[in-house]
Amino acid sequence: MIFSCTYQKKVVLLHSQKFYIINMAQTQEETFKKIVAHCKEYGFVFPSSEIYDGLGAVYDYGQNGVELKNNIKRYWWDSMTLLHENIVGIDAAIFMHPTTWKASGHVDAFNDPLIDNRDSKKRYRADVLIEDQIAKYDEKIAKEVEKARKRFGESFDEEMFKSTNERVKEHIAKREALHERFAKAMNDNNLEELKQIILDEEIVCPISGTRNWTDVRQFNLMFSTEMGSTADGAMKIYLRPETAQGIFVNFLNVQKTGRMKIPFGIAQIGKAFRNEIVARQFIFRMREFEQMEMQFFVRPGEELKWFEHWKQFRLKWHKALGLGDEKYRFHDHDKLAHYANAATDIEFLMPFGFKEVEGIHSRTNFDLSSHAKYSGKKIEYFDPELNQSYTPYVIETSIGVDRMFLSVMCSAYEEQALEGGDTRVVLHLPAVLAPVKACIMPLVKKDGLPEKAREIMNELKFDFKVAYDEKDSIGKRYRRQDAVGTPFCITVDHDTEKDGCVTVRYRDTMTQDRVKIEDLHEIIRKATDPKELYRKIVGDSFEDTNE
Ligand code: GAP
């Protein structure tokens, strides 16, 4: 149901440096299925324990996936800890004292509203069903706007069209009414109203197609296990549902040992676990996933200024990758979590619509105060400038590694038709994130070319993840590298020994250059060095988070 609209893809034909554009139509559902299949076929993502038919919403990263994932993590980590002298990292344990989750509210307050379909016996999150319905209205509006844009061309005024076209006005009105009703029901924790919305909107179960729904009930998403033997009296503990609490309970440790002055931040990357009910859309919603979170501790009263700062900084971080500025938008929350006084999501346009990739929350002093209360410890900061102690307020930026991975894959994947009826699948991965930066290939497997190619590879491998390939025709080897997103293919031929040059072939344009071997390092460095992205984020006049 989510994939109903047709996706027009521009396909580029390359012939003697000329591009021919043809149109191929495929649904977003088809595109997404192909991306999932591609991830498996090329060693990016595998279903977990696949030989036993897999485990629901749990995935393993393969040889290329882990490189891409590590590059995403490195890009995030360095953008936090290198670009900001007042942000440091930690790596807290997954297991935490169970009282942590009492204090955080996860034991009592973090429950999801669930509803079952009596015919399919499938369980859904009621809020997700309604959000999907809102997304359907958004899709209808976007479709009308696109149609009109094509019809009116340059002179098209989107705002004017939306405020005058009767059909669009009707969709917008329905969408707004539903949105308002939904936000109120969520804020009031009104489970009966959530069910009534599902019935009124005539939302059907995607499996059975019926509206035979049960009442909405609350459900806790935390996984639990036991620590210690039962003879000792085992303790029930939880697998952390977010990494943030590991930062809060270490606030005093880091502040004191690092002599940190407010404002300052603590960053962390690590696994989190949620017993998600609606496990779907591949690695978008998993039961075991990874988060990159940063808690920024500020003076009370200054939190909304910092909230705005981090919103803008994080958006720049995303956009610097060049996946397309138009694919991002903010979605401000109507329903705030019990700890927050402002919250927004950074959404990315996936093949199944705009979806949350990152959350930015102004968490007030809820977490530190609550841990102080439950632990009996004083968790405060003495501000020498104000000559007073207080419980700091917190701005949190929280991004899922796996969702980031999915957004990169979805925007990178392209099918191209080439001259002579040939096709290629190419991943236009940002070079900084590409699992393999260059593949070195001897033109033929003889005449000393493999030895020369290995010599070049052995020089480059100290700085870059490079590959070597001598099997099959050069064309087939190019295709293999295109499919995993390798930005450069470097071919050693019979002239290499004489002129000290190799042919560099570029993934996106498929054009080729003859370059000196000693220039290779700089060519690859320039394209893959994250420094270039950091400059884009902070610009020349970087206003630091130190004040
Ligand atoms: N500490 C705040 C927090 O955990 P959240 O909005 O629940 O906030 C933050 O999660 C991010 O973690 C999301 O924006 C998303 O990228 C990622 N995430 C959350 N649940 C996930 C899941 N089940 N599978 C994959 N990623 C998930």
pLDDT in tens, 280-319: 789 999 999 999 999 999 999 999 999 999 999 999 999 9
**What mean pLDDT do residues 395-412 have?**
98
Per-residue confidence (pLDDT) for residue 1, from 0 to 100 = 26
Per-residue confidence (pLDDT) for residue 543, from 0 to 100 = 53
Does the beta carbon of 400 sit less than 6 angstroms from any atom of ligand 1?
yes
Among candidate residues 365, 351, 340, the one with its CA nearest the CA of residue 414? 351
Does the beta carbon of 357 sit less than 6 angstroms from any atom of ligand 1?
yes
Buried (b) or exposed (e) across 200-213, using 16+ Cβ within 10 A? ebebbbeeeeeeeb
CATH number assigned to the domain comprising residue 165: 3.30.40.230
For the CA of 286, the closest atom of ligand 1 is 24
Name the DSSP class of 494: T
Per-residue confidence (pLDDT) for residue 279, from 0 to 100 = 65
Cα 335 to Cα 338: distance, rounded to the nearest angstrom: 9
Does the beta carbon of 407 sit less than 6 angstroms from any atom of ligand 1?
no
Q: Whose CA is nearest to atom 17 of ligand 1?
A: 400
Cα 222 to Cα 238: distance, rounded to the nearest angstrom: 7
* Single pTM value for the model: 0.84
Q: Give 265 Cα–ligand 1 centroid separation in angstroms.
A: 19
51/115 same-domain check: no
**What mean pLDDT do residues 518-531 have?**
96
In a domain, 481, yes or no: yes
Per-residue confidence (pLDDT) for residue 112, from 0 to 100 = 79
CATH number assigned to the domain comprising residue 315: 3.30.930.10
Q: Residue 226 — φ and ψ, nearest 5°?
A: -120, 140
69/161 same-domain check: no
330/456 same-domain check: no
CB count within 10 Å of CB 498 equals 7
Does the beta carbon of 505 sit less than 6 angstroms from any atom of ligand 1?
no
Residue at 353: amino acid letter:
G
Which residue(s) pair with 270 in the sheet? 291
Pocket test for ligand 1, best of 314, 317, 398 (most atoms within 8 A of CB): 398
Among candidate residues 350, 55, 101, the one with its CA nearest the CA of residue 238? 101
Q: Whose CA is nearest to atom 14 of ligand 1?
A: 358
For the CA of 357, the closest atom of ligand 1 is 16
Residue at 405: amino acid letter:
F
186/215 same-domain check: yes
Name the DSSP class of 484: H
Which residue(s) pair with 14 in the sheet? 19
Name the DSSP class of 201: T
252/358 same-domain check: yes
CA distances from 100 to 20, 80, 95, 126, 249 (A): 60, 26, 10, 28, 8
End-to-end CA distance of the chain: 50
**What mean pLDDT do residues 457-469 have?**
97
pLDDT at 123 over 90: no
Answer whether the bond into residue 263 is a cis peptide, omega within 30°: yes
Q: Give 291 Cα–ligand 1 centroid separation in angstroms.
A: 7
Does the beta carbon of 392 sit less than 6 angstroms from any atom of ligand 1?
no
| Structure-token pair, residue 3 | 């994939």
Q: For residues 86 and 260, is the Cβ–Cβ distance under 8 A?
A: yes
Does the beta carbon of 290 sit less than 6 angstroms from any atom of ligand 1?
no
Does the beta carbon of 285 sit less than 6 angstroms from any atom of ligand 1?
yes
For the chain, percent of residues with pLDDT exceeding 90: 76
CATH number assigned to the domain comprising residue 479: 3.40.50.800
- Of 131-145, 402-416, 465-479, least confident by mean pLDDT is 131-145
Does the beta carbon of 289 sit less than 6 angstroms from any atom of ligand 1?
yes
Q: For residues 1 and 136, is the Cβ–Cβ distance under 8 A?
A: yes
Domain count, the chain: 3
402/355 same-domain check: yes
pLDDT in tens, 415-430: 999 888 889 999 999 9
Does the beta carbon of 402 sit less than 6 angstroms from any atom of ligand 1?
yes
Q: Whose CA is nearest to atom 27 of ligand 1?
A: 400
pLDDT in tens, 54-89: 999 999 999 999 999 999 999 999 999 999 999 999
Q: Whole domain around residue 493: which residue ranges?
A: 436-531
490/390 same-domain check: no
**What mean pLDDT do residues 79-100 have?**
97
396/445 same-domain check: no
In a domain, 415, yes or no: yes
pLDDT at 159 over 60: yes
247/205 same-domain check: no
pLDDT in tens, 241-252: 999 999 999 999
For the CA of 241, the closest atom of ligand 1 is 4
Per-residue confidence (pLDDT) for residue 540, from 0 to 100 = 58
Q: Residue 363 — φ and ψ, nearest 5°?
A: -95, 15
Cα 194 to Cα 126: distance, rounded to the nearest angstrom: 7
Does the beta carbon of 363 sit less than 6 angstroms from any atom of ligand 1?
no
362/415 same-domain check: yes
Helix axes 126-152, 191-200, angle to 10 degrees: 40
Does the beta carbon of 358 sit less than 6 angstroms from any atom of ligand 1?
yes
pLDDT at 184 over 50: yes
Contacts (Cβ under 8 Å, ≥6 apart) of 74: 530
pLDDT in tens, 450-462: 999 999 999 999 9
pLDDT in tens, 2-44: 222 223 333 333 333 333 333 345 688 899 999 999 999 999 9
In a domain, 487, yes or no: yes
Residue at a domain's end among 200, 220, 240: 220
What is the band of 229 on the pLDDT scale with cuts at 50, 70, 90? confident
Q: For residues 320 and 306, is the Cβ–Cβ distance under 8 A?
A: no
